[in-house]
Copies of this chain bind each other. A is one copy, B any other.
Amino acid sequence: MTTELKQTFCSIITIGDELLIGQTIDTNSAWIAQQLNPIGIPVKRRIAVGDNKQEILDALERERNDSDIIIITGGLGPTSDDITKPVLCEYFNSGLIENAAVLKHIMSYFDKRNRPMLQSNLMQAMVPEVCEVLFNEEGTAPGMLFKEKGQVIISLPGVPNEMQYIISTHVLSYLQANFKTPNFIHRTLVTSGEGESFIAERLKDFEATLPPEIKLAYLPKINIVKLRLTATDIEEGILETHFHRLKEILHNITIIDADLELEFVLGQLLVRNQKTISVAESCTGGSIASRITSIKGSSAYFKGGIVPYSIESKQNVLEVSKDTIDRFGVVSEETVIEMAQKCREKFKSDFALSVSGYLEKKDHDNSVWIGLNSSSTKLTKKIIAPYDREKNTILVANAALNLLRLFILKQLSASS
């Protein structure tokens, strides 16, 4: 039994020529959507328009037809291409007034950084009379909230940390207090090892029996497919039941039953088992180490890494024997075995991963060897890297991190 509740929708309008010429990738919209979903406000549409008054007004007018909440980002900077504030003043027929709190904050902001202040910075303390100011502790452009005809229009700076600060501190609590929202929940399963269409084949019966309030989506990435169940207005327990069935069907290819990165999952596993790792990565050039250390608290289990990018450094720094490299080549099973072993010895870690291969299409046969070393194991895996340099780096790093994850799980299940 569901109560009748009008669904509240949000539209996101991002403003800036840089978005339309492809100079900037819009990460703000995704972040905002991630915050709004848990409080039951789905994003209806996302629109990117240029620094152009008519385009901004058109987008605003159109989105107000369909959404209750419009979040606008960008165009609030101190320079002349930033036109959002004057456009909103015109739209809401409002003059500007100086906001004392914002002015004080701007002055202290520059004072703290020991930077002189300009007239253009002071102008940021001028806000539309009819708006509610959303204080921006992280920068100088305040957010602005307008109310009209039961709708809320929120204008925020486009600088990600400033936008994020204002949403977290002011916007979410305001929306929760002012909009009644339905129960809107997601559960995500992350898998690796099977293509989208194969998973779909395995899930045919499962999909056929899903109630209409639950939707299944496939999100394929580089050698990873995420499966997402979305439910509107049903009890969490019902979603859980279906999610549990999904996990059972795909148990053999599941990485984790939450929308988390592989490096996070591996980190948790290492912490729980009090194990440490190190990495010796050649072709991935530091990106495995960099992904591991992107996780807060990784210093508890990551001892360090070596990027032996040249052949000499494989010999001189990592101390792989010249003989092994000469006989088998830098990209070989024998070399990654020795790389992982030397790495583990140097860093005194429980596990070591090693990688050596070719990531560019024209290089040789595009093959990459991955090694894993522990006190009791020498494991290797060969993979083919069919994409471009950037995607292959992700592919290989995923494969290496997952090799270690699966190995630890296998050890655990063997010892239990």
A304 touching B304, Cβ below 8 Å: no
Say whether, besides A81-B216, A306-B317, A309-B305, A21 and B47 are in contact (CB < 8 Å): no
Query: Would you call A24 an interface residue if the criterion is a C-beta within 8 Å of the partner chain's C-beta atoms?
Result: yes
Contacts of A104 in B (CB 8 A): none
Query: Would you call A23 an interface residue if the criterion is a C-beta within 8 Å of the partner chain's C-beta atoms?
Result: yes
Closest-CB distance, A234 to chain B (whole angstroms): 17
B47 touching A296, Cβ below 8 Å: no
B309 touching A304, Cβ below 8 Å: yes
B-binding segment of A29-37, A169-177, A246-254, A374-382: A29-37
B294 touching A303, Cβ below 8 Å: no
Say whether, besides A78-B200, A286-B305, A316 and B348 are in contact (CB < 8 Å): yes
Copies in the complex: 2
Query: Would you call A72 an interface residue if the criterion is a C-beta within 8 Å of the partner chain's C-beta atoms?
Result: no
Whole-angstrom distance between the alpha carbons of A233 and B167 in the complex? 41
- Closest chain B residue to A80, Cβ basis: B207
B48 touching A34, Cβ below 8 Å: no
Contacts of A387 in B (CB 8 A): 161
Whole-angstrom distance between the alpha carbons of A120 and B42 in the complex? 30
Q: Per-residue CB proximity of A211-239 to B under 8 Å, as 1/0?
A: 00001111110000010101000000000
B-binding segment of A85-93, A128-136, A191-199: A191-199
B-binding segment of A12-20, A144-152, A321-329, A407-415: A12-20
Say whether, besides A27-B25, A188-B23, A285-B289, A79 and B197 are in contact (CB < 8 Å): yes
Say whether, besides A217-B81, A389-B294, A23 and B228 are in contact (CB < 8 Å): yes
B304 touching A317, Cβ below 8 Å: yes
Query: Would you call A46 an interface residue if the criterion is a C-beta within 8 Å of the partner chain's C-beta atoms?
Result: yes
A218 touching B77, Cβ below 8 Å: yes
A313 touching B309, Cβ below 8 Å: no
Query: Would you call A270 an interface residue if the criterion is a C-beta within 8 Å of the partner chain's C-beta atoms?
Result: no
Contacts of A272 in B (CB 8 A): none
Q: Per-residue CB proximity of A249-289 to B under 8 Å, as 1/0?
A: 00000000001000000000000000000100000111111
- Closest chain B residue to A343, Cβ basis: B317
Contacts of A390 in B (CB 8 A): 294
A34 touching B17, Cβ below 8 Å: no
Query: Would you call A388 an interface residue if the criterion is a C-beta within 8 Å of the partner chain's C-beta atoms?
Result: yes
Whole-angstrom distance between the alpha carbons of A310 and B302 in the complex? 8
> Of A32, A293, A391, which is in contact with the most chain B CB atoms at under 10 Å from its CB?
A293
Query: Would you call A43 an interface residue if the criterion is a C-beta within 8 Å of the partner chain's C-beta atoms?
Result: yes
A388 touching B305, Cβ below 8 Å: no
Closest-CB distance, A228 to chain B (whole angstroms): 7
Closest-CB distance, A220 to chain B (whole angstroms): 7
> Of A16, A26, A285, A389, which is in contact with the most chain B CB atoms at under 10 Å from its CB?
A285
Query: Would you call A49 an interface residue if the criterion is a C-beta within 8 Å of the partner chain's C-beta atoms?
Result: yes
Contacts of A298 in B (CB 8 A): 285, 309
Apart from A46-B48, A80-B216: 8 A-B pairs, beta carbons within 8 A: A22-B29, A22-B37, A25-B27, A289-B289, A299-B309, A303-B313, A304-B306, A304-B307
30 contacts between A and B (CB under 8 A): A18-B228, A20-B33, A20-B46, A22-B31, A22-B35, A23-B188, A24-B30, A24-B219, A25-B30, A45-B55, A45-B59, A51-B217, A79-B197, A118-B198, A120-B197, A161-B387, A161-B388, A285-B290, A285-B292, A285-B294, A286-B287, A286-B288, A286-B305, A289-B309, A296-B389, A298-B309, A299-B310, A305-B309, A310-B347, A316-B346
Interface residues in chain A, defined as those with a beta carbon under 8 Å from any beta carbon in chain B? 16-27, 29-35, 37, 42-51, 55, 59, 62, 77-81, 115, 118, 120-121, 159-161, 186, 188, 195-198, 200-201, 207, 215-220, 226, 228, 230, 259, 278, 284-290, 292-294, 296, 298-299, 302-310, 312-313, 316-317, 346-348, 360, 387-391, 393
